[in-house]
Every structure is written in C-alpha cells, then in structure tokens.
Structure 1
C-alpha cells in the first residue's frame, strides 16, 4: 500500500479497495459480479492518471528536470541503509503539498526500471513507460487523494481483520460451490 502511494499508483489502490469490498461481501456474490467486474474496474481506472496510457511522452511538454532524484537502483552492500534515507526524504516530500505545475509538465520521463519508490516519491509528476513499452502513464502526486485512499484501505483492512474468522468459515463452507464444475459451467454457457 505505501509503495503504491509513494509510486503514485492510485488506480492500483482503488482496485485493491474494490477487491476488499468484494471479499467482504462474501462468496455468495462472487459469481454474480464476474461478468461486471472487468468493465467496473476499467471504469474505475479511467479516473486515475496513472492508469491512462498515452502513446508517447512527446505528447506532453519536455520534462522540467528532477535534480537529486535517483533513477538508478540503490544497490551495493549498504543498500538497506541508503534506502532508509531515501524513504525519509520521500515521506517528507509526500507530506507536503504537490506542485500543480508538474501536473502539466512532468519532472521526469522514467523507464519501468527507473520508476522505483525512491525516485517517484520525490516527484510531483512523471511519465513512466509501460512494461510493454506501448506508451506512458503520467503519474501525478495528489496528497488529498492518497490520504483518502489510505484511510479507506486501512478501514477495510481493519474490517477484514475483525471479521476474519467468520469470513474464513463462510468461504470454507462455500468452497464446494466455488470450485464445482457446475457453478463454472453456468458462467461459461
């Protein structure tokens, strides 16, 4: 969760929130939502810039620069110690208000290998090339959105923890129905 927030992957958190809600609704409703889940998730993703793929970073103004932001992996024998410092810098930056200029002009254009939490957590806006190299996503830091998603995630995680024993029993009792060929046959007919 924190890593997704630091990487400005808000759509990922929104999808995780939906999956927790579906889990809490219980196994009886799983088959009912199978057909509608993919369109529902696609609709949710449209609301987050990190899920919108642009053909190229050239469709945006040139990157303004991000001095002091590491783009290479923090490796070596002292990697864990170095990452503590970058974590503190990233958290400090994340707690401040984002600069809206970087929602129009990215600070950096990053490859998937460069788009790590210790880089993105220090930026307010950056393009990240998709893993399939078919475009870029423009990730824009939004402190209020991050806070809202984090609070909702924590509330759902708390509810799952509180109801876990009952949920486990409910899902175990539903297992024969969930894995039966007859149930799945209805879906694919």
Structure 2
C-alpha cells in the first residue's frame, strides 16, 4: 500500500537524480530474444535484479518509449546475459541502434531457441511472466527456466563508465 503523498515534480532535478543513481555500481547485461521470423534482437541493460528464489524470478526494466518494447513485451522468452569484464565491447555494441550485433557475437541457442552469448559470467533463460508499467519504464519479471554461470570477473557500470570490479576512483 502506498501511503506517501504526491511529490512536486516541477521542482525535482532529474539530472541530479540521474547523477546520484550513477553512484550505484551495477552489473551489465544484454537481454536477447528470438523473433517469430527467426531473427534475433538484443539490448544492453543494467537494471537487473533477483526477485524470488521460489519461484525463481528476476526483473529488468526497459523505457516505455524504447523501439524494442513491442519485441520484448510480445515474446514468450528471453535470455539475460550477464557480461564479463572483457565484454565491454558487447555492452556498447548492443546499445547502438541500426546494427545487427549478432553478426559480431559468438552465441549458442538455449533450450527454447533463444540466443545465449558465449563468455558471459552468467545467463538466465526466462519465461516472460509479467510486466508492470511504472513511470517512464516497464518492469519485466521473468521466471527463470534455466541458468548457468562461469566464475569470471563481471562487467560493472559506475559513474557512466564500464570496467571490472576495480574501477578507478
């Protein structure tokens, strides 16, 4: 239950808010899926988190106005690929519009035919369980059907920079 009073958005500094959020170090993921025509799509996201162990649920979010919103809201499955520190180029590749990144990526297919990027530190194959519009984003909750991991240094995003766990201060 939300008992807070509405805030005055006219006085809220969104640039300052974004800068404050950038101080929270996050892992970097590439969310991938397969379309009905057999082609693949993917995007870079740092908004990933666990939700529940039983059932196994994870979440990520996507801007409501994103070009890929119909793709991910309409597909039954996707894979959350957690990038390793040596995959910063993939984070940039999947965040650039107008390219087909899958021609430049080593991947294999999951049990449901979704693209899994090779060399990731972990990946989660998810059923697209539910979506919740909130503010200018949609929160996707995925039920994990299969996952794997490789103990590697993860890629981290902090203060607008990509790096390993030992980012320069």
- TM bucket by the smaller chain? under 0.3
Q: Which has the higher contact order (CA 8 A, sep 6+)?
A: 1
Length-normalised TM-score, structure 2: 0.25
Which structure shows the higher strand fraction?
A: 2
Which structure shows the higher helix fraction?
A: 1
Q: Which has the larger radius of gyration?
A: 1
Length-normalised TM-score, structure 1: 0.24
